[in-house]
């Protein structure tokens, strides 16, 4: 955990500090070593939230995008089950940051527990996920221009797609600064890769979202989520496309939830 209570104050881990876990009220100790990111750990090593995973720099970078009071929010269900949401915004939406794979059962129980939620998945956890995703994005077919959506028969075989389908709540895969090309062109801005379900076929397709718009959308502004759109040469084409200008430019889309 990033935060614990020290003498009634919410504090980050610092060497030699002891605190109280906000979830179970037991004592926690600050772990400030070289190997792992500084964090709070329960005495006796037993974490009280079975859904909790050891935090990485990736988790912390994402949490830090949002206000401090939105990070690590206790959530208690009617049957008094308690969990710590990675981020919960001022509209009651939970953002779960998932670095390690989880079973479909666990995923479903979290979705039921939190209700309105969004997943951001660390795509860089496994090399094979990056390779499989790249195949889909770079060799798949564009099935719609606005939003730009990419489909490929390979999604049925790739682990990262199988693990995250079916989709009940929005799922975004984060490949950090990895560079991809869509139809030969790099996206004009950093993107997250949203997985979307096509209800008619049950296929999962990829819809790139501008990363900064995701932060605003989930954040204080509550702005619109901006998907990439494909701009094609005007009809009828009089000149051959000679390159130079990428055909993909972000454009604001009408406001929609996801
Ligand atoms: Zn605890």
Residue whose C-alpha is closest to residue 164's, from 201, 212, 120, 219 = 120
CA–centroid distance, residue 10 to ligand 1 (Å): 14
Distances (CA, A) of 31 to 59, 92, 95: 17, 31, 25
What residue ranges do the domains of the chain occupy? Answer: 1-48, 52-258
Query: What percentage of the chain reaches a pLDDT higher than 90?
Result: 68
Neighbours of 145 (CB within 10 A): 14
Rounded to the nearest angstrom, the distance between the alpha carbon of 21 and the centre of ligand 1 is: 5
Check residue 27 and give its pLDDT: 93
Which residue, chain included where needed, has tokens 């008619």? 200
* CA 46 to ligand 1 center in whole angstroms: 8
What value does the mean pLDDT of the chain take?
A: 89
pLDDT at residue 245, rounded to an integer: 55
Length of the chain: 258
Q: What's the pLDDT band for 241 if we cut at 50, 70, 90?
A: low
Query: Which residues are found with C-beta within 5 Å of the ion, ligand 1?
Result: 21, 23-24, 48
Per-residue pLDDT tens over the stretch 31-79: 999 989 999 999 876 778 888 888 999 999 999 999 999 999 999 888 8
Q: CA distances (Å), 170 to each of 66, 117, 218, in order?
A: 18, 7, 12
Report CA(119)–ligand 1 centroid distance (Å): 23
Query: For 192-216, how does the pLDDT look when each residue is reduced to its tens digit (9 = 90+)?
Result: 999 999 988 888 999 999 999 999 9
Is the pLDDT at 254 greater than 70? The verdict is no
* 86-102: pLDDT as tens digits: 999 999 999 999 999 88
pLDDT digits (tens, 9 = 90+) for 162-182: 889 888 999 999 999 999 999
Strand 171-174, strand 191-198: pairing: antiparallel
DSSP state, residue 161: H
**Residue 242 pLDDT grade (very low, low, confident, very high; cuts 50, 70, 90):** low
Cα separation, 219 vs 88, in Å, equals 10
Distance of CA 243 to the CA centre of its chain: 33
Q: What's phi and psi for 197, nearest 5 deg?
A: -95, 135
pTM over 0.75, yes/no: yes
How far away, in angstroms, is 86 Cα from ligand 1 center? 14
Please tell me the distance between residue 203's alpha carbon and the centre of ligand 1 in angstroms: 40
């Amino acid at each position: 955990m990033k935060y614990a209570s020290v003498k009634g104050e919410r504090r980050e881990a610092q060497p030699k500090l002891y605190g109280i876990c906000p979830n179970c009220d037991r004592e926690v100790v600050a772990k400030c070593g070289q190997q792992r990111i500084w964090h709070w750990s329960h005495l006796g090593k037993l974490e009280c939230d079975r859904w909790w995973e050891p935090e990485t720099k990736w988790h912390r970078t994402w949490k830090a995008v949002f206000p401090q009071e939105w990070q690590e929010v206790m959530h208690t269900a009617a049957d008094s089950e308690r969990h710590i949401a990675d981020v919960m915004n001022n509209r009651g939406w939970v953002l779960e940051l998932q670095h390690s794979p989880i079973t479909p059962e666990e995923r479903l129980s979290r979705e039921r527990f939190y209700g309105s939620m969004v997943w951001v998945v660390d795509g860089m956890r496994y090399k094979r996920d990056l390779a499989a995703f790249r195949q889909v994005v770079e060799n798949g077919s564009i099935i719609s221009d606005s939003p730009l959506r990419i489909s490929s028969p390979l999604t049925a075989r790739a682990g990262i797609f199988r693990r995250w389908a079916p989709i009940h709540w929005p799922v975004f895969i984060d490949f950090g600064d990895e560079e991809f090309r869509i139809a030969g062109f790099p996206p004009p801005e950093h993107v997250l890769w949203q997985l979307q379900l096509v209800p008619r076929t049950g296929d999962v397709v990829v819809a790139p979202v501008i990363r900064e718009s995701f932060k605003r959308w989930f954040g204080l502004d509550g702005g619109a989520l901006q998907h990439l759109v494909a701009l094609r040469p005007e009809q009828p084409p009089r000149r051959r496309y000679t390159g130079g200008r990428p055909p993909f430019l972000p454009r604001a889309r009408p406001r929609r939830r996801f």
